Structure 1
Amino acid sequence: MSRYDAWDESAAKVRPGRRGSRPRTKDRPKHEDAVPAVVTGVDRGRWTTLLLEGSEGSAPLASRARPHGTVVVAMRARELGRKGIVVGDVVGLVGDVSGAPDTLARIVRVHDRSTMLRRTADDTDPVERPIVANADQLVVVSALADPAPSPGLIDRCLVAAYDAGMDPLLVLTKADLTDPEPFLRDYAPLQVPHVVTSTGAKGDEPFVGLEDVRARLTGRISVLVGHSGVGKSTLVNALVPGTDRATGHVNAVTGRGRHTSTSAVALPLPDGGWVIDTPGVRSFGLAHVDPERLLSAFPDLVGGADACPRGCTHDEPECGLPAWVAAGRAGSSGPARLESFHRLLRSREAEQR
């Protein structure tokens, strides 16, 4: 009898294949232990976050983030796909959240946003580009001279603020170079709050009007938007000492400023609140804005829309707004308010140059 005759099938050990050896499931992990954090910076696929106090999504950023809390660098988890994550987002982190050097956590969750400031590349581009999440105030920074103000860009930023449900604030810099009153008259009907600043000595202030700006930003989450060279980074450096945001100069030939900020960054204000500095922009597409959402920013005109035909663009002969204003239903400032509304509509429809 050979030595193989004593073996049967039960004695054979079959090595199971790797495929099917582990049951698969479509259920994603719930990550119930995820740690809440807010995104304060984005750089080449890495997100700088600041750990928050309290449970996820339970309170606004301004009251939960400690300026000197734990900073954690994170990457986007695979299950989020290509979901955009921007500065201001409240996220959930897993993994190493110690903040130690050379450690990396994972972003596994992005919480619902209270607001989203977005733009498109131009007025024909259907792709929305998110800029900042969960901010409540849009600060449009414009120089009164050097470079000259761009009413078209300012109008578009105001439209974006109204569309996002954010409060606008107009900050005019370099008032020492020209009188701001002629420029402000054009925006008086919009009733946009404004602060005028100028360079010069006033105590220890780097420029006049800084305290007024600080008072309007304290306790809020504010986004600064404007052309390059208008003084955004200079303003941020004054509001948040030690920030050292790079500042640039205006080209004497083109009249344009040089881009110095390359990405958005959120910075805590000494007296509470946050300011988010964004790169200088030269265009602000509004292809995503619905005229009805823009009209909601003019409560004194909203009632006139009841007489508008279906699909009214609010800038056509059959529109019911002119009759509403002519009847005095919008108050004494109605005509100027309607003209300002039409101006914002036209800024939305015309290509920014």
Structure 2
Amino acid sequence: MARNSRDLDEDDVRLRANPRGTRPRSKQRPAHEDASEGLVTTVDRGRYTVLVDGVEVNAMRARELGRRGIAVGDRVQVVGDRTGAVDALARIVRIAERETVLRRTADDADPLERVIVANADQLVIVCALADPEPSYGLIDRCLVAALTEGIEPVLCLTKADLAPADDVIAHYSALDVPAVVTQRGGSIEALRSLLPGHESVFVGHSGVGKSTLINQLVPSAERATGSVSAVGKGRHTSSSAIALPLPDGDGWVVDTPGVRSFGLAHVTADDLLWAFPDLEDGATQCPPGCEHQSAEAGCRLDDWVAEGHATPDRLAAFRRLLASHTTGDAR
């Protein structure tokens, strides 16, 4: 006899033998005990070049990593075909904890962080003395990004054959940032001497000579170079970041695309203050929420300097970097 649907209950529901979606998902991940350690040297649209035991391996990100980003400089573990053959493809299954992360945003209101390089311990800020003109704003912002991350900054001033470097060097003397000066056709030994034992990332506007320096440091790099455009910011000559070993094997250099802006939406005033230990203790005397801009606004750092705990030049340098971060001009 036919039964009315209103007479049915849960005991009358027909169950399929293997209903889709009822199999419990395991949270266990493969051990990948045969994984090899490597260094990510390039990133290109979801594909990665990983140096594994001296072999450049093509790799992709394993699904178990989810959306976790991978950057040039990351130390990773890979499985699969590690022969380096043209059609071979390995998988990155683990990413080691990063020691440092150099990052920027498009502007100071952009919440999206862009990782430039992982695990660098030295930032070479390349700035032309002319053609294009020096950009103090970009230098300041690169310094903020480096100092707040614990990366040692180096100022590299190029094209000294076109303009003197004295004013730029004096502008940053209070920060004790090493500065090297180069000119077209001249020696780069002063810069070369600062690189052994470091993982150095080169950052600057397009057209300032980054890739030219990289080609001199690593002759096999063959990085593209180009002339400066009429707008003064240069034109892009490197399209992606790449990590290159120094010829003697004692260190790495990372060439990066020329940047037009360097946003610091992820950096706070307290982050920057951490890079000024001679001022940090004095800031504890400031009122809550102090922006450390001036004594008139209630900042007590001027009193701290007057008491001899820090120099006026250091406070001025700190406030200049802080202002470059808060003006909203990321160029």
Q: Do both proteins adopt the same fold according to a TM-score greater than 0.5, normalized to the shorter chain? A: yes
- Structure 1's unaligned 5+ residue stretches are 1-15, 53-68, 201-206
The two structures have a TM-score, normalised by structure 2, of 0.90
Alignment-derived partner of residue 237 in structure 2: 260
Distance 2:44 2:26 in 1: 34
Match of 1:126 among 102, 108, 111: 111
Match of 2:120 among 135, 140, 145: 135
Alignment-derived partner of residue 198 in structure 1: 183
Asked if the contact 2:132/2:208 (under 8 Å) is kept, the reply is yes
The Cα shift of 1:130 comes to: 1.0
Q: Deviations over 1:75-123 (max 9, x none)?
A: 0111112211000001111111122221000111111000000011100
CA distance 1:351–1:20, shift in 2 (3 Å): closer
Alignment-derived partner of residue 325 in structure 1: 305
Q: Superposed, which structure 2 residues align to 1:1-353 within 5 Å?
A: 24-52=25-53, 69-200=54-185, 207-208=186-187, 210-251=188-229, 253-271=230-248, 272-316=250-294, 317-330=297-310, 334-352=311-329, 353=331
SS at match of 1:309: coil
The Cα shift of 1:310 comes to: 2.1
SS at match of 1:341: helix
Distance 2:105 2:33 in 1: 35
Q: Deviations over 1:265-291 (max 9, x none)?
A: 000001310000000001000010121
The Cα shift of 1:19 comes to: 5.2
- Structure 2's unaligned 5+ residue stretches are 1-16
What one-letter code is carried by the residue in structure 2 that aligns with 1:220?
H
The Cα shift of 1:216 comes to: 0.2
CA distance 1:23–1:325, shift in 2 (3 Å): closer
What one-letter code is carried by the residue in structure 2 that aligns with 1:34?
A
Q: Deviations over 1:44-65 (max 9, x none)?
A: 110000015xxxxxxxxxxxxx
Distance 1:260 1:226 in 2: 12
SS at match of 2:64: helix
SS at match of 2:271: helix
The Cα shift of 1:144 comes to: 0.2
CA distance 1:24–1:154, shift in 2 (3 Å): closer
The two structures have a TM-score, normalised by structure 1, of 0.85
Fraction of identical pairs, as percent: 62
What one-letter code is carried by the residue in structure 1 that aligns with 2:94?
R
Distance 2:163 2:292 in 1: 36
Asked if the contact 2:206/2:235 (under 8 Å) is kept, the reply is yes
What one-letter code is carried by the residue in structure 2 that aligns with 1:319?
C
Distance 1:130 1:166 in 2: 14
CA distance 1:236–1:309, shift in 2 (3 Å): same
Distance 2:80 2:135 in 1: 46
What one-letter code is carried by the residue in structure 1 that aligns with 2:328?
E
